[in-house]
Chains A and B, each alone.
Chain A
Amino acid sequence: MENFNTYDHIVHSEILIIGGGIAGLLAAVSSSEFTQDIVMVSKGKIGWSGATACCGGNAMTICFPEDDVEMWMQKYVENSDYTVDQQWVQIFIEQSYKKAMWLDGLGKQYGKMIFPHHPDKEDEFWRIERTGNPCTIFNLPQAQDTLRREIEKRKLRTYERISIVQVLCHDNHVYGAIGINYRNGETYLFQAKAVVLAAGACTYQQDLFEVCGEGFSLAYHAGAKMMSFDRGGAISRPRTVMHNGTLFSSTANSSGYQMGGRMINRLGEDFFQNMTPEMRKAGRIGQNMAIKREIEEGRGPIYEDYTNVSDYTKEVMKSMRIAQWKRVKSEYNLDPFTELICVADGVEQTYTPDHSNRMGGVAIDHHNQASVDGLFVVGDNSAPVLAMQHPFGGCELGWAVLSGSLVGESVNQYLMQSEQEQPSDDWYVQAGQARLESLFAYLQKDNGKKPDEVKANILKTMIPYDVVHSDAEHLQAAIEKIAKLRNEDLLNMKAWDYHELREAIEVESMLDVSEMILRSEYMRKESRVGVRRKDYPMMDNVNWLKWVVLQKNESQMALAQETIPTPYKKAPQTIEAPAQHRV
């Protein structure tokens, strides 16, 4: 392909993997069992980007051979208010242990302990309870390091600092993607026979802008069916407690707490032990209520306390949270293992969508394939089938590891059966030209709003979550505001450099995801999982045991409902209580 001026670089491969987080890394390694003709591309640094950079999961769901499989089916189904894909739960039951042990074995080849052993039993993995379900301690930095080395060893090609701006499709088949390097403005055409999207997550928390839903936006504009954006879900946290805790998040559900750390008040009391039944029932909100009570009754401030954990636990915790440990050390010049860390001296109860995303995703079949042929989706990007719709500790990471590990074989099967011929060079030029021109136009304007300003306006529209998303009236108002932002702010947005061009792309994605969330929520006329409608407070299994799905139709967002299959566990028709306050 000579004289190809639209693109500065043209990269061919059999498989293109978009996203450099844990799911993308695993997708690359699992795919490389079949071919080495793989390209990975990431907006950030491969192995350090995505939700992993900011959330840094540290425990995950695995179904061990000795586990009660009925328990797992029940927990996944009931905690999701019957919205999980039960066939995927069955795949989790059958495959998650095998895939986790494969990853554990890979880590051992590099001297890494991805799944640390129990502090008292060296021959057992360390399992804790989070949100009432068993979770296995997972050392993410060790896993990332292992997978980075494996990708290097397998000589897979990697491209970093590239924002993918379009997945290229024709006749419902995927043929690659185009991207822009936001450090030098160079454009890339990635030609591929199959694409794995591993660029999920979208946040509306002001301090976590790296995950802006581009994976969702890319799939949507490629024509893929999307699902469960009405499961936006909300998380409640006291704003004076830092979002990521100091070493771990500051809740009784956190791995840090479950591994032996404590949240204590000024008197040294582990006050989570004294929560009222109401607080216990209210999940994270209840824990925030407990923090608030301590402060209001004069027992604040609140501290994280890791001083009494064993040396082995300290070693594991430090290894798992090494960046956070350095942050505490740098900021306060204290060692979190020898001194207490103050995390809250006041509480302002707020609700925001979870920073780690419970935003819905791409609808996939049981081989991770989207409704577009050759487009496979893993991790947060396709989470609604097994995770993300409900506060179920470790389910997102469990899904990232399971889906990333499984997808290689599915992609290989697809490639062996696919008889698609690659489109012409002219098609590739035309397919990406309009998109690139529209983006570079942000740079060519004389003046306009900065992308950060538009992001702030999106946040104002989506938050406070419990108001914006409470009833039809507020949802309709928010839909109109998002449309206004699209028609006014977006048209007037100006990128002053390539870095801001990256942010302009993020703004477009955030607007897309906002619309998906609001329209999906507006469609559902009941309450379920994380979303509670004040105008429809009850869960309605008779009429609403359904997924809200959406798809791009011409330039319109077309929504529909699909009955949720319940092959393993039926939902009761009558629900006596309103939807649970599980956030």
Chain B
Amino acid sequence: MSIKGIDKTLCVNCGQCYDICPNDVFAIAEGKVFVKYPEDCQSCALCLLVCPKEACKIDNMRPTALPARGRI
């Protein structure tokens, strides 16, 4: 639902996202970590918390058209 994916140019396949994810979104095959069940992501951001390489990318439930930054 809200995980965009893993930036494989940064990922070192340490498996920490797989280890912590409460919704079992990630899987490991042949030593490679990948997003297997993106629809189950609840955007809790625990994968971001543990990823040593900032390789996990998620977004929120808000519309993508929403401007992110405030400019007053």
Interface residue B48 (Cβ < 8 Å from any Cβ of A): yes
Contacts known (A322-B49, A323-B45, A342-B68); A331 close to B58, Cβ less than 8 A: yes
Contacts known (A341-B68, A343-B62, A345-B66); A327 close to B48, Cβ less than 8 A: yes
Interface residue A368 (Cβ < 8 Å from any Cβ of B): no
Count the A residues whose beta carbon is within 8 Å of the partner chain — how many?
49
B45 touches A326 (CB 8 A): yes
In the assembled complex, the CB of B67 is this many whole angstroms from the nearest CB of chain A, namely: 5
- For window 260-290 of chain A, which residues contact chain B by CB distance below 8 Å? 266-268
In the assembled complex, the CB of A457 is this many whole angstroms from the nearest CB of chain B, namely: 15
A452 touches B70 (CB 8 A): no
A54 touches B44 (CB 8 A): yes
In the assembled complex, the CB of B33 is this many whole angstroms from the nearest CB of chain A, namely: 14
Contacts known (A48-B22, A327-B60); A340 close to B72, Cβ less than 8 A: yes
Alpha-carbon gap, A244 to B61, bound state (A): 9
Interface residue B20 (Cβ < 8 Å from any Cβ of A): yes
- For window 1-39 of chain B, which residues contact chain A by CB distance below 8 Å? 1-2, 19-24, 36-37, 39
Query: Total A-B residue pairs with C-beta atoms closer than 8 Å?
Result: 112
Alpha-carbon gap, A539 to B54, bound state (A): 53
Alpha-carbon gap, A334 to B71, bound state (A): 13
Alpha-carbon gap, A53 to B20, bound state (A): 10
Contacts known (A48-B22, A161-B24, A322-B49); A342 close to B42, Cβ less than 8 A: no
Residue ID in chain A nearest B25 by CB atoms: A499
Alpha-carbon gap, A266 to B71, bound state (A): 8
B40 touches A342 (CB 8 A): no
Interface residue A305 (Cβ < 8 Å from any Cβ of B): yes
A267 touches B68 (CB 8 A): no
Describe A's contact surface by its main secondary structure. Answer: loop
A326 touches B62 (CB 8 A): no
Interface residue A183 (Cβ < 8 Å from any Cβ of B): yes
Mark the stretch among A204-212, A484-492, A522-530 that contacts chain B: A204-212
Neighbouring B residues of A246 by C-beta, 8 Å: 60
Neighbouring A residues of B59 by C-beta, 8 Å: 331
A330 touches B48 (CB 8 A): yes
Neighbouring A residues of B22 by C-beta, 8 Å: 43-45, 48-50, 53-54, 210
Neighbouring B residues of A339 by C-beta, 8 Å: 69-70
Residue ID in chain A nearest B48 by CB atoms: A326
- Interface size class for chain B? 35 or more
B62 touches A241 (CB 8 A): yes
Contact of B43 among A244, A267, A340, A452 (CB under 8 A): A244
Interface residue A337 (Cβ < 8 Å from any Cβ of B): no
Alpha-carbon gap, A57 to B48, bound state (A): 19
Interface residue A502 (Cβ < 8 Å from any Cβ of B): yes
B61 touches A303 (CB 8 A): no
In the assembled complex, the CB of A217 is this many whole angstroms from the nearest CB of chain B, namely: 18
Interface residue A418 (Cβ < 8 Å from any Cβ of B): no
Contacts known (A45-B20, A342-B69); A240 close to B60, Cβ less than 8 A: no
B61 touches A243 (CB 8 A): yes
B20 touches A48 (CB 8 A): yes
Alpha-carbon gap, A408 to B2, bound state (A): 38
Interface residue A301 (Cβ < 8 Å from any Cβ of B): yes
Alpha-carbon gap, A303 to B71, bound state (A): 10
Neighbouring B residues of A209 by C-beta, 8 Å: 23, 40, 42
A499 touches B37 (CB 8 A): yes
Neighbouring B residues of A324 by C-beta, 8 Å: 45
Interface residue A429 (Cβ < 8 Å from any Cβ of B): no
Interface residue A467 (Cβ < 8 Å from any Cβ of B): no
B interface with A by C-beta (< 8 Å):
1-2, 19-24, 36-37, 39-40, 42-46, 48-49, 54, 56-63, 66-72
Q: Which 6 pairs between the two chains have the least Cβ-Cβ distance? A: A340-B70, A44-B22, A332-B68, A323-B45, A327-B45, A326-B48
20 residue pairs from A and B, CB less than 8 Å apart: A45-B21, A53-B46, A207-B42, A210-B44, A240-B63, A242-B61, A243-B61, A323-B46, A323-B48, A323-B49, A326-B45, A326-B49, A330-B54, A331-B59, A334-B68, A341-B68, A341-B70, A342-B67, A344-B66, A499-B36
